[in-house]
Chains A and B, each alone.
Chain A
Amino acid sequence: MSPTEKSIGQAKGQGRSLRQPASKVRSALAITRTPSGTAHGDPFNRFSKRYLLAFQNYLLHPEEVFLQLAYELGRQAVAEGIGLLNLFRIHITAAERACSNDSEKLAAAGRFFMEALSPFEATHRGFRETNDKLAELNATLAKRNNELGAINFALKQEIEERKRTENALRQSKEHYRVLFNDARVMQDNLRHLSNRVLHVQEDERKRISRELHDEVGQALTAVNVHLTMARKAPETAHRQIGDAQKLLEQTMDSVHRFARELRPAMLDDLGLGAALRSYIKAFSERTRLPVRFDAVSIIEELGSDEKMVLYRVVQEGLTNVARHANATEASVTIRATRVAMRLELTDDGKAFSLEPKDGPPVQADQKRLGLLGMQERVRLVNGTLHIDSREGKGTTLRVDLPLPRQSA
């Protein structure tokens, strides 16, 4: 308790303590400040005096004018920040002293005090109202905040959406670029293949014409010689004619072989199996490479395009084996799986590789284009081509064609 309150509290026992020598009260009050910030100095002192005076006057003359004065004093207390408790203390001190056991006087004191209090009640309600308004404002701010947050969120999502769209665009551009490149590569391959096909055709024709000229031409010349000799030396005619006939037989074989290479008529007449068997036999004899052959009979139910493709694959495959693989043996098998007609051409030679270092560049190129040609033919009849080649384990060329309808 501050010294001031103490001195006021003691007033009831010491009579009019507030009439103490001003200096004594002043010095005691000078060093004190209540937490409410009100200085218990002269203003408070003056107020207390005024209150007391008005109060005593009211007790003497209970008239409205003093009640009005009480109200004004209350107002002043509010404005100066004199707290409610201080006001009460001032009042109760005065009342106890002036009213003692006089109930009438006590009632009058109460009326006076009530007037002084109404400004406090007014401000109290004011605080409440201000509080309510603040709470409302807060709520509005919070709502606005939320709305802003939602808008922010929506904006962020939109930005992300745009970024995603941009990314997608960029990716698809990239995708198209890749596709375009692939298309160009395919085009190049196609052109090379066409070129190559033409060249090969030409080379093939050249070769055949040369071989015809060389083998057949020579053979026929030799036959002529034998026949001329037969005429000139009749005693040797029998032998000469026999030699001539042998030569002619060999020549006929060659011619047949050429014809078969140009167009294996056997395919159409005698079937794929017979054609393959015949080609493989000639190949083995020519290259001294043993080739085993095994095929199921339902290959004859394939279409003529499919048969042609298998024939050419075997032709090209075995040619490659003879040229590049250094193999000691090979095998050609055709069988039916659950879903395909499968041709497998295996050899035990060195592994198949498309690296340029695999022999001179020309050879590697030929091999690559040959493969491309095979792939293209197989694709055209809805088939697939795989090569399985491992160092030390040889090579397997596998072609799968759709099964013929009838045997499904």
Chain B
Amino acid sequence: MCRSEPAADAPKGGARLIVRSSPDIVHARQVARDLAINMGFPGSDVTRIASAISEIARNILDYAREGEIEFESIREGKALLITARDRGPGIPDVSLAMQYGYSSGSGLGVGLPGARWLMDDFTIESRPGKGTVVRMTKWLA
């Protein structure tokens, strides 16, 4: 199983990964899981975090082909912030894309909204031609 190298300028208390292929998704999940367990998240939250990573990473692969995911422990270790960036075509209508059941590709329709429901805070910035930035946070209970 090939793994991508951690990015050189990873932020402190976290990591930054490139996502270019399916194995990268698995790797990103693993990193997220380890970090979450270390931070003290319960098993169910760990699963939710990993699932959210799956969705975001899949989106990057499907639409932008390449992107990066960044992990950061914030608020003195009380929350995990995950940032996903890509320079893909962007989302023309973010609110439409965030509606449950909407899917522009052949996806299963869970997609981005699915990630939003599994996490606590969720923001998405996207402009056609300018790429997409997703920021999501899980808080320790």
Separation in Å of the A399 CB from the closest CB of chain B?
95
For window 75-97 of chain A, which residues contact chain B by CB distance below 8 Å?
Answer: 75-76, 78-79
Mask, B34-51, CB within 8 Å of A = 1, is 000000000110011011
CA distance A125 to B100 in the complex (A): 10
Q: Do B26 and A68 touch (CB < 8 A)?
A: yes
Answer yes or no: A71 CB below 8 A from chain B CBs.
Answer: yes
Q: Do A123 and B30 touch (CB < 8 A)?
A: no
Residue of A nearest to B22 (CB): A68
Answer yes or no: B92 CB below 8 A from chain A CBs.
Answer: no
For window 46-94 of chain A, which residues contact chain B by CB distance below 8 Å?
Answer: 64-65, 67-68, 71-72, 75-76, 78-79
Answer yes or no: A242 CB below 8 A from chain B CBs.
Answer: no
CA distance A68 to B57 in the complex (A): 12
Q: From DSSP, what is the main secondary structure of chain A's interface residues? A: helix
Knowing A126-B101, A126-B113 touch, does A118 contact B33 (C-beta < 8 A)? Answer: no
Q: Do A68 and B117 touch (CB < 8 A)?
A: no
How many of chain B's residues have a CB under 8 angstroms from any CB in A? 25
Answer yes or no: A130 CB below 8 A from chain B CBs.
Answer: yes
Residue of B nearest to A118 (CB): B51
Q: Do A68 and B54 touch (CB < 8 A)?
A: yes
Instruction: Collect the chain A residues with CB atoms within 8 Å of residue B118's CB.
Output: 118, 121-122, 125
Answer yes or no: B140 CB below 8 A from chain A CBs.
Answer: no
Instruction: Collect the chain A residues with CB atoms within 8 Å of residue B7's CB.
Output: none
Instruction: Collect the chain A residues with CB atoms within 8 Å of residue B14's CB.
Output: none
Q: Do B110 and A71 touch (CB < 8 A)?
A: no
CA distance A381 to B25 in the complex (A): 118
Which residue from B29, B108, B113, B117 sits with its C-beta under 8 Å from A67? B29
Separation in Å of the B96 CB from the closest CB of chain A?
14
Answer yes or no: A129 CB below 8 A from chain B CBs.
Answer: yes
Answer yes or no: B90 CB below 8 A from chain A CBs.
Answer: no
Answer yes or no: A390 CB below 8 A from chain B CBs.
Answer: no
Instruction: Collect the chain A residues with CB atoms within 8 Å of residue B117's CB.
Output: 121-122, 125-126, 129
Residues of B within 8 A of A (CB): 1, 23, 25-27, 29-30, 33, 43-44, 47-48, 50-51, 54, 100-101, 108-110, 113-115, 117-118
